[in-house]
Amino acid sequence: MKAINTTLQAAILAAAFLAGAPAMADHDGHGQQAMSVVADTADGEIKKVDKPSGKLTIKHGELKNLGMGAMTMVFRVKDAAMLDKVKAGDKVRFTVENANGAMTVTAIEVAK
Ligand SMILES: [Cu+2]
């Protein structure tokens, strides 16, 4: 029975490796993010900075991974410090994650 057990263990290890492979092949160096999180990066223009509620209104270009065309919408920000980096009228390049339906800006920088 020992040989059979070893074969079974090898098969389980192979299956575990294959199941993990797609996460390691993630794009743009976001390999550490959970597989349930979808993210994309787009250009946009800040329309409003709402510090009290920690939200940004951004007119954004297409966010293909998130299934959105160009539009103006309100995003949450992951870190309140992001609200101090931008002001209405700024052209920005930003990354959005859809974490369980909550569109959250996880990175933002003013386009030069
Ligand atoms: Cu949108």
* CATH code, domain carrying 100: 2.40.50.320
- Does one domain contain both 21 and 63? no
How far is the centre of ligand 1, averaged over its atoms, from the C-alpha of 89 (Å)? 18
**pTM higher than 0.85:** no
Cβ neighbours of residue 55 under 8 Å, at least 6 residues apart? 74, 75, 76, 77
Question: What residues make up the domain containing 20?
Answer: 1-32
- Does one domain contain both 25 and 59? no
pLDDT at position 3: 61
3-state secondary structure at position 97: strand
How far is the centre of ligand 1, averaged over its atoms, from the C-alpha of 67 (Å)? 9
Bridge partners of residue 98, in order along the sequence: 38, 103
Question: Can you count the helices (H) and strands (E) in the chain?
Answer: 2, 5
104 touches 76 (CB < 8 A): yes
How far is the centre of ligand 1, averaged over its atoms, from the C-alpha of 83 (Å)? 18
Q: How many domains does the chain have?
A: 2
- Does one domain contain both 22 and 43? no
- Does one domain contain both 98 and 61? yes
- Does one domain contain both 18 and 67? no
Task: Give the pLDDT of the chain (112 residues) as one tens digit per residue.
Answer: 556 566 656 655 555 555 544 444 444 544 444 456 899 999 999 999 999 999 999 999 999 999 999 999 999 999 999 999 999 999 999 999 998 888 999 999 999 8
- Does one domain contain both 43 and 10? no
How far is the centre of ligand 1, averaged over its atoms, from the C-alpha of 74 (Å)? 8
How far is the centre of ligand 1, averaged over its atoms, from the C-alpha of 18 (Å)? 34
